[in-house]
Amino acid sequence: MRFSRLFAPTLKESPADAEIPSHKLLIRAGFIRKKAAGLYDILPLGVRTLLKIEKIIREEMNRAGAQEVSLPIMHPSELWIESGRWNVYGKEMIKFKDRHEREYALGPTAEEMITDLVRKEVRSYKQLPINLFQIGRKFRDEIRPRFGLMRCREFIMKDAYSFHISDKDAEREYWNMYETYSRIFKRMGLEFKAVEADTGEIGGKFSHEFMVIADTGEGKLVYCEKCGYAASTEKAEQAEPVISQGRESLFEEIEEVYTPDVKSINDVADFLGVDGSSLAKLIVIVADNKPYAILLRGDREINELKLLRLLKVKDFRFATDEEVKEFTGQEPGFLSPVNIRIPLIVDTSVAEMVNFYTGSGRKDYHLKNVNWGRDFSVEQFYDISEVKGGDRCPKCGASLIEKRGIEVGHIFKLGTKYSEAMNCVFVDENGNEKPMVMGCYGIGVTRVMAAAVEQNYDEFGIIWPVPIAPFEVEVIPVNVKNSQQMEVAEKIYKELKDKGIDVLLDDRNERAGFKFKDADLIGIPFQIVVGKKVSDGVVEVKVRKTGEKMEIAAEKVVEMVLSRLS
């Protein structure tokens, strides 16, 4: 491709609404343009990268035995009514009517569509297992579309669904997909982690999210370098507490300390000259119209999902100061677990604490040397707080590392939720009819493009990993009016093209600095600069990622770049 013909409108400035690097850079480098909130035009450079991402996904899915299909984006409402999701999926689903007043949705995900196909065509255990995937547009009317391609209303997803005769076989395929996803993201050249994820209402332990590590990620994860445990912080479990046998012998006498005008946990800790881990904080919440007192170590936060699950509710909220007074008879901000009169739920993090501080129930006073087992009783500790970096690994006890990440893929064992609701059954060896056991596996294709940038950029622009770069090499003649430079540049360009390399020739009659800036911004891994030294038969190769520059004989440059690309 010649740059003079390339439709890649690059920009000096980032758009005002772009908050994160991938959004800014994909727009500035001419990969995407915003059409409306959460809707983007994808320009030729963007399509090139997306096609490479899709190619890797296709190859690996095919290799894993999955087969590609393509189902309509218009989903008839009947199928969603049958699965029970038409009214529960919520406002994210875009619904509309055709000219006959029949209702449809633009598919946000395709369990219903695929289950309908399989139930009609597959009857016997002999036809199973089957894993079908598609790569196509999905629509979700997100409340807050943002961060460019990261959270769109229309985006490209690879979604796969597998059908099995047994739970065991569904689990085998689950791990097959786990391996496949690991290969996919590795081949893309991305640093990622597969983390245990929340399984929502379906439950079970078969859900992993594939997270691309990046500081701007919306997700948090912890992992253990020693044993390989990795989980999203939503899901990560706290290690079993170690409660020493003779802890009672350490107990000191409880006393009241005067703590005027301190309210927040940090204020209290500062005032007392201790850190948050020496304090226990009590939080009053309301779930199902019932108040609960939640006790956590001062430096920890409630994990909402864990608490919801424990209480078996869909929702909870923090009590207002007024309610706190009414429910507990204590002063908000100075709450004490001692003699608390509403149900007390104590987090695991409190189990190892001895002689800690809590509120006293009275304004401006805290209690010192509080101990569970003496000052208030705990029948059971519950894991309801969020795991953090530095915590002990729940599997091996080593220290956990915390990172932020972007969810690019999700694998999930569905069980028989959809097959039962939609009567997707098969006849087994003994002639019995049974619901198929299902799994589903998604990759956010457009989100991968953004995540790759989020992980690979610098102040000059994008640094594409070679496997998903729109072009692998750019040839830059410094002065297009110099016939020798142009001749050599054209020759290198042609040779690389003949070798099947995606190469861009910057044949624009522009200043060299301007062209270098564009090359860096677009993020092409290798730049071959053909300048003055070409009269001595020498050109320069620049590696975008490292900034490394090498002079090399023009004759040898193709060979050299090819070896670096492989």
Where on the chain is the footprint of ligand ATP (CB under 6 A)?
109, 140, 142, 151-152, 155, 157, 407-410, 442, 444, 446-447
Q: Which two tokens stand for residue 95?
A: 């619904």
Cβ of residue 512: shortest distance to ligand ATP, in angstroms? 38
Q: In the bound complex, what is the minimum distance in angstroms from residue 464's beta carbon to ligand ATP?
A: 19
Work out how close the CB of 434 gets to ligand ATP at its nearest, in angstroms, rounded to a whole number: 27
As measured in angstroms, the least distance from the Cβ of 138 to ligand ATP is 7
Angle at 284 between CA 372 and CA 204, to 5 degrees: 80
Tokens 């301190």, located at residue = 262
d(C-alpha 555, C-alpha 546), whole Å: 24
**Smallest separation (angstroms) from ligand ATP to the CB of 444:** 2
Q: Which is nearer to ligand ATP, 213 or 521 (CB)?
A: 213
Is 139 or 471 the residue whose CB approaches ligand ATP more closely? 139
CA dist., res. 95 & res. 106, Å (int): 7
Q: How far is the CB of 278 from ligand ATP (least distance, A)?
A: 36
Nearer to ligand ATP, 408 or 438 (CB): 408
CB-nearer residue toward ligand ATP: 94 or 425: 94
Q: Which two tokens stand for residue 332?
A: 């908000």
Shorter beta-carbon distance to ligand ATP: residue 331 or 386: 386
Strand partners, 410: 209, 442
The smaller minimum CB distance to ligand ATP, of residues 337 and 442, is found at: 442
Q: Minimum distance between the CB of residue 217 and ligand ATP, rounded to whole angstroms? A: 10
d(CA 116, CA 111): 8
Report whether 350 contacts 280 (CB < 8 A).
yes
DSSP summary character for residue 18: -
The distance of closest approach from Cβ of residue 108 to ligand ATP in the complex, given in angstroms and rounded to an integer, is: 8
Burial 398-413 (b: 16+ CB within 10 A, else e): eebeebbbbbbbbbbb
Q: Are the C-beta atoms of residues 137 and 73 closer than 8 Å to each other?
A: yes
If the CB atoms of residues 359 and 442 are measured against ligand ATP, the closer one turns out to be 442
Can you tell me the distance from the alpha carbon of 438 to that of 456, in angstroms, rounded to the nearest whole number? 36
Rg (CA), the chain: 29
Residue closer to ligand ATP, measured from CB, 193 or 410 = 410
CA–CA separation, 440 and 136 (whole Å): 15
> Would you call 173 helix, strand, or coil by DSSP?
helix
Query: Three-state SS string across 420-456, please?
Result: HHCCCEEECCCCCEEECEEEEEEEEHHHHHHHHHHHC
Judged by beta carbon, residue 209 or residue 506, the one nearer ligand ATP is: 209
CB of 183 to ligand ATP, least distance (A): 17
Q: Give min distance, CB of 443 to ligand ATP, in A.
A: 6
Query: Which residues touch 511 (CB under 8 Å, ≥6 apart)?
Result: none
Measured from each CB, the residue nearest to ligand ATP is 444
Our CB check for ligand ATP shows the closer of 300 and 410 to be 410
Counting runs of H as helices and runs of E as strands, what totals does the chain give? 13, 31
Give residue 286's identity as a one-letter amino acid code: V
